[in-house]
Structures are given as C-alpha cells and as structure tokens.
Structure 1
Amino acid sequence: MSNPWIAIGALTLVAIIIPISMIAISSLLRPTVPEQGKTAVYESGEVPTGDTRIRFNIQYYMVALLFVIFDIETVLIFPWTVIYRDAVQQFGMGQALLPMLVFIGVLVVGLAWAWRNGAVRWVKSPRATAPEQRAE
C-alpha cells in the first residue's frame, strides 16, 4: 500500500509549480513597452475630472450591511419553518422553538442597537438642510 500523503504532497507541489512557472514564462515572453497610456488610471477611455477621492456617505454601506444580515436571516428562517411541524413531533415544542427564538432575539437586539445608534437613520447633507440663498 502506498501512503496517501505522497499523493497529497505531489498535488500540492504541482499546485505550486504550475502557477509559478506560468508567471515566470509570461514575464520572460511579454513585451515591455512602457508608455504613458499604460500607467494612467483606467477611466473607461474618458478624461478624468475632479479629485479621485470621493467621500461616500457611510449610510449606503450601513443600509447594505443591514440588508445582507436580514436577508440571510430570512434564508435561515425559511428552512426552519418548513421542518417546524416535524421537529415539534420529534423533539417537542421547547427544543424546536427555543433556538429560533434565541436567533430572532439576537437579531432584534442587533436591530435595536443599530436603530439607537442611528445606523438606519438617513443623514441629510449640509446642502440639503441649509436654507436656499437667492442671488438678487
């Protein structure tokens, strides 16, 4: 009998050697023609305007993160609802219902914390809240 670790070691060696050899061969064969277009920031062929550092409102990320969390919650709750009746018959009401109540409780506490800290409150820009100044 042969040792299974020999096959694992051989596959690991092949997985390391092939990418390294491909990188080495491509670096030897590729043309090296430095030009200004290759070093420029890619902007879809458009001339860049303004500063490249744009400040995004963190609320976009907070809303997206909360959406992902509660979207995953529904993905986890749906299979539980499908097997709930069988789980109650097999394990009893307490063992079937308690884990899901704890799960939903943790999510409610998280939502309450996010709500209290203003994560779901949309922040208006200073320009939107400032009174309009008319040129006379």
Structure 2
Amino acid sequence: MPRSGSYHPGRMSSQYLPVFIQILVAIGFAAVSLTLSVVLGKSARRNATKDSAYECGMLPIGDGAPRFSVKFYLVAMLFVIFDIEVVFMYPWAVQFRDLVSGGNAIPLISMAAFAGVLAVAYVYALKKGALTWKN
C-alpha cells in the first residue's frame, strides 16, 4: 500500500494539465488577436502631422522639460529625508505606553537621541541656507 507522501509521477502531471492548457489558450488568443489586427486593420498613411508629438494641444517646440534650480531638488530631498524620519517615529508613538511600561526609559532615551540627530540635521540645513528661496 503506497504512503500518502510518496511520489507519483503520473498524478503530478495530471494536476498541472489545466495550467498548461490555460497557458496555451492565452498564448493562442494573443497570437490570433495580433494576427487579426494586422490582417483586418486599416493601414494608416503616414504623414508629418501624424508622426509629430502631441502635447495636449501645445506645439512641441523647444526643450521638452524646463530647467529647475538645484535648490528645488535639495528641498525635495530634505523633505523626503525628514518625511521618512516621521514614518519611523509614528509606530514608536503608537506603542509608547507599552514600551515604557514598568519604568523602562530606554525607548524614551533612544527616541530622544533620534530626535536630537534630526534636530542637528535640520539646524545644519538651515545654516547652509538649504531652505531659503532667494537665488
């Protein structure tokens, strides 16, 4: 009598048969759809108007993107950094009562040190003029 955990090669291939059939149907459907769109679709005549880029009614003249000041990127990076730090503080604040229960002050001291490092970074950014908008 075979054990329930024994290997049966015929049984395993029959379990995957519906998956293989579904893969073949999907590939066949894609191939038939693409072939029918090429055969039955209208052939478009190419001209300069159809080949030009369309930008919401604006003529595509000049550079595609305007140049931004480096200050913009610096402020954006500072925002991302300080935003991530707030994301780190949120779970700590939610669990604050459980963390400091029983007179345990280590979580409070560690978050105070973390906030201190953030404050030093903020003061450094202010002293360097990273948040001033004058050119």
TM-score by length of 2: 0.55
Change (3 A) 1:91 1:122: same
Count, aligned residues: 114
Moved more, 96-105 or 26-35: 26-35
- Structure 2 segments unaligned to the other structure (5+ residues): none
- Structure 1 segments unaligned to the other structure (5+ residues): 125-136
Larger radius of gyration: 2
Once superposed, which parts of structure 1, at least 4 consecutive aligned residues long, lie more than 3 Å away?
25-35, 48-53
Change (3 A) 1:93 1:47: same
Change (3 A) 1:122 1:28: farther
Task: Quote the residue 1:78 is aligned against.
Answer: 90
Change (3 A) 1:27 1:59: farther
Q: Is the 8 A contact 1:59 1:123 kept in 2?
A: no
Tell me whether 1:105 sits opposite 2:101 in the alignment: no
TM-score by length of 1: 0.54
Look up the equivalent residue of 1:43 and give its one-letter code: E
Tell me whether 1:45 sits opposite 2:50 in the alignment: no
* Partner Cα separation in structure 2 for residue 77 and residue 38 of structure 1: 53
How large is the RMSD of aligned CA atoms in angstroms? 4.0
More contact order relative to length (CA 8 Å, sep ≥ 6): 1
Change (3 A) 1:38 1:113: farther
Identical-pair percentage: 35
